[in-house]
Amino acid sequence: MTTILALSAAVVYGTADFFGGVAARRTSPMAVTLSAHLVGLMLLVVAIPVLPAAHPQVSDLVYGGVAGAFGAGGLILFYRALSRGTMSVVAPVAALFGAALPVVVGVGLGEELSIPALVGIAIAIAAVGLVSREGEPSDARRSHGPGDHPLVLAMIAGGAFGSFFVLLSQTHASAGLWPLLSARVVSVALLATVTVLSGRSLRPAPGSRRLVMAAGAGDMVANILYLLAVRRGLVSLVAVIVALYPATTVLLAQVVLGERLRRIQISGLVLAAGAATLLALA
């Protein structure tokens, strides 16, 4: 059941990221992130009352709130990276960097990984090196500053996502979905504050609103699936399985946007699929 929940979260995350990435090419990534988070917040507010009663502790709400801050920052950087780079490359890089931190923390907390899991993690690390070989022309490379390159943004976003996953994994099962509500309230407040102070519009462009709604709803559903999965299994394994979400993003980018991958990148995706198999069996 843990693997099924984690894989389901990966599929939904990948779909939501595709919608959010396309929307970020049509309007401000900040507006996309804020609006998507508002959609997710409304979905969660409707869901909690119809679910069985939960009893969150103060620590659960604190972990959730801090997780929300990391999640909001990571999503802004991620959407910015998607709007500037090749979606089929940005998504895998962010995902694998997002999986690295939970693995390190999980092992540090005493989680024991099997030989297939360790091999799978090693293969995943090799895969990111291949997938991230963009092969951009020199003029494209000069168009980005060192701190604004899509891959740099993707790596930082991945680290923020990893922090989000780790913090949520520290909440109690008795807390139900309240840690996610705490996370979303904090992220919406932070995003709204930053957007207002920057003088940017709070509303996405008209042509991107349906995409934003799909991204926001999908992101929240995926968060719920992840939380259910990590409460049943090891964070070091669940996070790595969830990190397979780029497979969905890449597939949609290939079919809908007509993006093309180089052979070396395809090799990286094949390695990533092999790593996923080993991790699922671990």
* pLDDT tens profile 104-117: 888 787 877 778 77
**Per-domain residue ranges of the chain:** 2-281
CB neighbours of 65 closer than 8 A, spacing ≥ 6?
182, 183, 185, 186
CB 82, CB 26: distance < 8 Å? no
According to DSSP, residue 51 is labeled S
- Confidence band (pLDDT; 50, 70, 90) for 263? confident
* pLDDT tens profile 36-61: 999 999 999 998 988 878 899 999 99
Task: Locate 9 and state its tokens.
Answer: 């979260």
**Residue 142's pLDDT is what?**
44
* pLDDT tens profile 126-157: 776 676 665 544 444 445 555 568 888 888 99
